[in-house]
Amino acid sequence: MEEKKEWWKDKGNLIFIGILIAAFVIRFYFFILTRNQPLWWDESELMLRAKGMVFGTPITGWNIARELVFPFLISLILRIGLGELTIRFLQVLLSTFTIFMLYMVSKEMFNKKIALIASFLMSFLWLHLFFTARILLYIWPCLIYLLIIFFFWKGYVKKERKLYLYLFAISASLGLQIYFSTAFLLVGIFIFIIITERISFLKNKDAWISFLLFILILLPYMIYSQITFGFPIRRIAQGIGVVKETGKGIIGIMDYVWILPSRIGWIATILTGLGVFLFIFQFIIRSKFIFKEKNHDFDNWILIFLSFLIPFALYSYIASTSYQGAYDAFILGTFPFMLVLAANPLIKVYEFIKRHTKIVAWIFIFIVLGSHAYYNITTGYQSILAKESSFFQLKDVGLWAKLNIPKDAIIYTTSMPQVTYYSERATVRIPDTEEEMEAINLSQNSYYLISVFERTSQQWLFEYPAKKNMTVLTVSFLDDAKQYPGAILYKI
């Protein structure tokens, strides 16, 4: 009882509770604003696969290379009679729990000051808020990475309890099956072990047991992937060239560096840059002790730096060429570690000012953190609201089709995932050319759905219905005056 009283007397603990409440309130606010927003194509893929698991509805539009764990988890929610709203709220809880884990990791590896600053910075990060409002996996790596590092630090580095080491193995294996970039973090952890232990880890019996547990949990997925794609983990195959998909190469890394100011704000970017330079400077000074294994008091910073650098570099290096520029969501999982690095120089400047005047030091902190929060909240609000109604017309037409066309209908469309999900009807991708479309032997139960969201440069797609005297069944407009169609469903 006395221990609990002491905990509540600690100002640092009260500040953390305040940060956690603020993080939840902000996320819940955006949840309320976006609770009915239409799904994007990639959201629809995950949801249609989950719906297919439960209700047996069509799964056309599903990318078979995607990991199945997340759709399976969604299917459990659908199976008990809950729906999209519940899934969106669970994203809010998961996002808030990420802030809690960032605090726990930072406090465990460093101190409360680092933990409070890092968790505050992450709480307001607009990109994290943006993807919290979407039924996508991009916020999951943030939490998965933190859980892996937490268990690894306590179980392997500090050797507190074997349970932590086994939890590390479990979280790493499941994380790899939920989101493949977990492999990049594991590469960083392996490099950390080599730097700090060389090959002595090979004599660690508990580490081998942990590795065996990791493989056993991963084995069913590896067998499935091998049978389906000819490689144990298909997504990793992309990175090493087994699957013939190429990335942007070394230039891709710099693409991701250049977008940081617009994704985390100039304040967090500058602090991160200072944090990286501070780490490099200290690493160089300490390198002779680090590599001679004379002490390990810098291991925490080495692990955090590698947890940021390796996934960031590897992901940006193999980033898909289908994106004209860098896609920010890919590197979201590295942001918690980036912000730990950012917290270090901020605290050092604060402590330097505090030695001369405490009031000015506090003013400095309030200005820096307040500016960071203001930029990210305003940017997040604008970005989330700007996309809130996107693809509404596909949802509108899809739901109409669900109620009004036969269940065995086939819809030819350029928007397969969304149309499959909302209509619960099988879809087929409209071919690239009119000649290919003409060659299809269409059934009497076929429909044609086009929208302004995909392949708008292919004019024949929009002229084809008139050529074939198709009947318009329903139209969803972009504007209230109903002058500009957004999606049209035809009966072939």
Same domain, 381 and 397: no
Q: Are residues 108 and 302 in contact, defined by beta-carbon separation less than 8 angstroms?
A: no
% of the chain residues with pLDDT over 90: 75
pLDDT for the residue 296: 67
Same domain, 480 and 339: no
Return d(Cα 77, Cα 71) in angstroms, integer. Answer: 10
Q: Are residues 378 and 400 in contact, defined by beta-carbon separation less than 8 angstroms?
A: no
- For residue 111, is it within any domain? yes
Q: Alpha helices of 245-298 — where are they, by DSSP H?
A: 251-258, 260-264, 266-290
pLDDT for the residue 121: 98
- Is residue 292 very low, low, confident or very high in pLDDT (cuts 50, 70, 90)? low
Same domain, 6 and 98: yes
Return d(Cα 334, Cα 127) in angstroms, integer. Answer: 12
- For residue 372, is it within any domain? yes
Same domain, 330 and 462: no
DSSP assignment string, 475-491: EEESSTTS-SEEEEEEE
Q: Which of 2-6, 95-99, 196-200, 461-465 has the lowest mean pLDDT?
A: 2-6
pLDDT for the residue 198: 83
| β-pairing verdict for 471-477 and 485-491 | antiparallel
Same domain, 455 and 374: no
Q: Is 226 or 320 the better-scoring residue by pLDDT?
A: 226
446 to each of 24, 56, 130, 408, 409, how far by Cα in Å?
46, 20, 37, 9, 6
pLDDT at 267 exceeding the cut of 80: yes
Residue 149: name the closest of 282, 263, 302 by CA. Answer: 302
pLDDT digits (tens, 9 = 90+) for 447-466: 999 999 988 888 999 999 99
Terminus-to-terminus CA distance in the chain, angstroms? 73
Q: What is the mean pLDDT of residues 121-131?
A: 97
Return d(Cα 285, Cα 58) in angstroms, integer. Answer: 60
Return d(Cα 126, Cα 373) in angstroms, integer. Answer: 9
- Is residue 243 very low, low, confident or very high in pLDDT (cuts 50, 70, 90)? very low
Residue 364: name the closest of 382, 350, 351 by CA. Answer: 350
- For residue 190, is it within any domain? yes
- Structural domain count of the chain: 2
- Is residue 25 very low, low, confident or very high in pLDDT (cuts 50, 70, 90)? very high
pLDDT digits (tens, 9 = 90+) for 344-371: 999 999 999 999 999 999 999 999 999 9
Same domain, 258 and 376: yes
Same domain, 301 and 410: no
What residue type is 441 in one-letter code? Answer: N
Q: Are residues 455 and 413 in contact, defined by beta-carbon separation less than 8 angstroms?
A: no
Same domain, 397 and 383: no
pLDDT at 329 exceeding the cut of 70: yes
Residue 153: name the closest of 180, 171, 138 by CA. Answer: 171
- Looking at 344, 359, 387, which one is the last position of a domain? 387
Residue 100, classified by CB atoms within 10 Å of its CB into exposed (0-12), middle (13-18) or buried (19+), is middle
Q: Give SS3 for 247.
A: strand
- For residue 461, is it within any domain? yes
pLDDT at 293 exceeding the cut of 60: no
- For residue 247, is it within any domain? yes
Q: Is 248 or 427 the better-scoring residue by pLDDT?
A: 427
pLDDT for the residue 147: 98
| β-pairing verdict for 426-429 and 410-413 | parallel
Sequence-distant (≥ 6) Cβ neighbours of residue 127 within 8 angstroms: 263, 264, 328, 329, 332, 335, 380
Return d(Cα 71, Cα 76) in angstroms, integer. Answer: 9
- For residue 358, is it within any domain? yes
- Looking at 366, 387, 408, which one is the last position of a domain? 387
134 to each of 44, 180, 427, how far by Cα in Å?
11, 19, 23
- Is residue 83 very low, low, confident or very high in pLDDT (cuts 50, 70, 90)? very high
What residue type is 39 in one-letter code? Answer: L
Return d(Cα 285, Cα 279) in angstroms, integer. Answer: 10
Sequence-distant (≥ 6) Cβ neighbours of residue 271 within 8 angstroms: 342, 343, 345, 346
Return d(Cα 75, Cα 93) in angstroms, integer. Answer: 18
- Is residue 244 very low, low, confident or very high in pLDDT (cuts 50, 70, 90)? very low
Q: Are residues 165 and 207 in contact, defined by beta-carbon separation less than 8 angstroms?
A: yes
pLDDT digits (tens, 9 = 90+) for 137-161: 999 999 999 999 999 999 999 999 8
Q: Is 222 or 35 the better-scoring residue by pLDDT?
A: 35
Residue showing tokens 């009119």:
434
Q: Which of 35-49, 90-104, 200-214, 245-259 has the lowest mean pLDDT?
A: 245-259
Q: Is 429 or 230 the better-scoring residue by pLDDT?
A: 429
Sequence-distant (≥ 6) Cβ neighbours of residue 354 within 8 angstroms: 361
Question: Side-chain half-sphere of 379: how many Cα atoms within 13 Å?
Answer: 18
Q: Is 244 or 420 the better-scoring residue by pLDDT?
A: 420
Could you tell me the maximum CA-CA distance found in the chain, to the nearest angstrom?
83
Per the prediction, the chain carries an average pLDDT of 91
Same domain, 106 and 21: yes
Q: What is the mean pLDDT of residues 474-487?
A: 94
- Looking at 387, 420, 440, which one is the last position of a domain? 387
Same domain, 260 and 299: yes
pLDDT for the residue 322: 44
pLDDT for the residue 236: 62
pLDDT at 440 exceeding the cut of 50: yes
- For residue 469, is it within any domain? yes
pLDDT at 485 exceeding the cut of 70: yes
pLDDT digits (tens, 9 = 90+) for 161-193: 899 999 999 999 999 999 988 999 999 999 999
Residue 192: name the closest of 278, 308, 104 by CA. Answer: 308
What residue type is 70 in one-letter code? Answer: F
Same domain, 440 and 311: no
Return d(Cα 135, Cα 88) in angstroms, integer. Answer: 6
Q: What is the mean pLDDT of residues 89-103?
A: 98
- For residue 42, is it within any domain? no
Q: Are residues 114 and 343 in contact, defined by beta-carbon separation less than 8 angstroms?
A: yes
Domain that holds residue 415: 392-491
% of the chain residues with pLDDT over 70: 92
Q: In the β-sheet with 446-451, what is the strand arrangement from edge to edge?
A: 426-429, 410-413, 446-451, 485-491, 471-477
Same domain, 337 and 431: no
What residue type is 1 in one-letter code? Answer: M
